[in-house]
Chains A and B, each alone.
Chain A
Amino acid sequence: MRNSKLFGVISMVQRSRRRYLVIGVYLFLAALMSLVIFRKGGALFRPGDSLGPVNLIFVILFTGIARGIFGSLVQQATFPEPDPDQNLSLRQHYPSSDSDEREVAVRNWAYYAAFRFVAIYLVLLWIAFAVLIDAKTPWLSVNTCGLLLFPVVTAAITLPQALILWTEPDLPEPDTAESLLSAASR
């Protein structure tokens, strides 16, 4: 995590604050999704509803907002750029970026954890669809698939950074030589 202030004002040094932020952003997503699902007097969407454009706008809007907020705090290169001069084992630890070894390790773990979540979700979704298609569920449509895939798209784009914000301990303060001297003189 390179930046400890949200919008340059709100301190995000404490982990608890960052967790509130992550919960808040994802609650915002859940609220937006609820608006779409229950937008017609509590009725779940019906076959023939055109949700494609809504989905697209949501993906662009929400992932943009979430990615912007999370990304402004994490501020790390998203993907390591492979360096052809390094062998594979070295490349895993020292990708060509300005991140140090701890940041790279945290980022690798976050991407792995996010990938695992997305993979499990997709497998469960696939099984659910297989069962539902066999049962000839009336409300199952392309729109349903699109709506249920929306969390995967969002998770794939925002989850690694959300995990970093969620798990990083309270950030150490950047002390100065003056503060060290004053501490020593006390």
Chain B
Amino acid sequence: MYNRISVLRAERGLSRQALAEALGINYQTIGYLERGDYNPSLELAFRISEFFRLPVEAIFSRTPFRPLSEQVYGSKGA
């Protein structure tokens, strides 16, 4: 499972600790999620998507994500 948690977290200037506290989990779990060492339950995935106010499929994917910049600007050039 691939995810964009680290990108979204950096974008919003959130530390692992702050995100973990907001989600009610251990900060290490955030680290493991970002590294792909742990796949969240459906419940946690939805909690994360609600926190970032994004759809689940924008944060989690079974295939590697294209870089956000390429996704936003790459299609305009094509």
CB distance from A146 to the nearest CB of B (A): 40
Closest-by-CB residue of B relative to A179 is B15
Interface of B: prevailing SS: helix
Query: Considering the chains assembled together, what is the distance between the CA atoms of A174 and B27 in angstroms?
Result: 7
Which of chain B's residues 1-36 have a Cβ closer than 8 Å to chain A?
A: 9-10, 13-18, 24-32, 34-35
The reply to whether A176 and B25 contact each other, CB–CB distance below 8 Å, is no
Q: How large is the interface on B (under 10, 10 to 19, 20 to 34, 35 or more residues)?
A: 20 to 34
The reply to whether B18 and A100 contact each other, CB–CB distance below 8 Å, is no
* Residue A173 interfacial (CB < 8 Å): yes
The reply to whether B15 and A103 contact each other, CB–CB distance below 8 Å, is no
The reply to whether A100 and B14 contact each other, CB–CB distance below 8 Å, is no
**Neighbouring A residues of B35 by C-beta, 8 Å:** 169, 172
The reply to whether B26 and A180 contact each other, CB–CB distance below 8 Å, is no
**Neighbouring B residues of A99 by C-beta, 8 Å:** 26
Given contacts A101-B25, A172-B27, A172-B35, contact A180 B41 (CB under 8 A): no
Contact flags A158-186 to B (C-beta < 8 A → 1, else 0): 00000000000101111111011101100
The reply to whether A181 and B13 contact each other, CB–CB distance below 8 Å, is yes
Query: Considering the chains assembled together, what is the distance between the CA atoms of A177 and B17 in angstroms?
Result: 9
* Residue B54 interfacial (CB < 8 Å): no
CB distance from B15 to the nearest CB of A (A): 5
Q: How large is the interface on A (under 10, 10 to 19, 20 to 34, 35 or more residues)?
A: 20 to 34
* Residue A116 interfacial (CB < 8 Å): no
Partner of B17, one of A100, A101, A169, A176: A176
The reply to whether B14 and A180 contact each other, CB–CB distance below 8 Å, is yes
* Residue A93 interfacial (CB < 8 Å): yes
* Residue B38 interfacial (CB < 8 Å): yes
User: Given A101-B25, A172-B28, A175-B16, 10 more contacts at CB 8 Å?
Assistant: A101-B41, A172-B30, A172-B31, A172-B34, A172-B35, A174-B15, A174-B17, A174-B27, A177-B14, A183-B10
Q: Which residues of A contact B (CB under 8 A)?
A: 1-2, 93, 99-103, 169, 171-177, 179-181, 183-184
